Amino acid sequence: MKRTRVKLKHPVPIGNLLDDVLKSFRRYDDRDLIRAWELWEAVVGAEIAIHTRPAVFKDRLLIVYASSSVWLHQLRFKKKEIIEKLNAALKKDLIDDIRFRIGPVGSSPDSEKNVEQYNDRNT
């Protein structure tokens, strides 16, 4: 199989080329996934956000760390609601499932700003 080379009229920044190449290998835009981290506290509320942190995306699965087994148990009851709220906030159905694990939990320095922006859009 012979590949054809496209001749460009102008120089193109390597970042633009890399974005195109990465998009061809990935199903989702990383910016959409990053938004889940940014919106986490606004979507789940301050009390839950203090004890949780989104950790990893694997396809359409979001793994969330919880601070204790008590929170792990409580979050299982809210799983469906959290998935629905996150997808609504992202304006795309990117998350099909969430798995909760005990792990390190911390807060984002921008979390208050993101909560305000989310609340302004959804009130």
Query: Is 19 contained in some domain?
Result: no
| Residue reference for tokens 């990053």 | 34
Q: Which amino acid is at 68?
A: S
Give the mean model confidence (pLDDT) for residues 58-83.
94
Residue-wise pLDDT for 90-104, tens only, equals 998 989 999 999 999
pLDDT above 80: residue 66: yes
**Residue 78 token pair:** 């809210």
Cα(87)–Cα(60) distance, integer angstroms: 11
Query: Is 69 contained in some domain?
Result: yes
Query: Is 21 contained in some domain?
Result: no
- Residue-level pLDDT at 75: 96
What is the total residue count of the chain?
123
**Residue 54 token pair:** 């989104």
Burial class of residue 91 in the structure, from the number of CB atoms within 10 Å of its CB (0-12 exposed, 13-18 middle, 19+ buried): exposed
Query: Is 91 contained in some domain?
Result: yes
Which range, 4-8, 59-63, 106-110, has the best average confidence (pLDDT)? 59-63
Reported as a pLDDT band with limits 50, 70 and 90, residue 114 is: very low
Residue-wise pLDDT for 27-52, tens only, equals 556 677 778 888 999 999 999 999 99
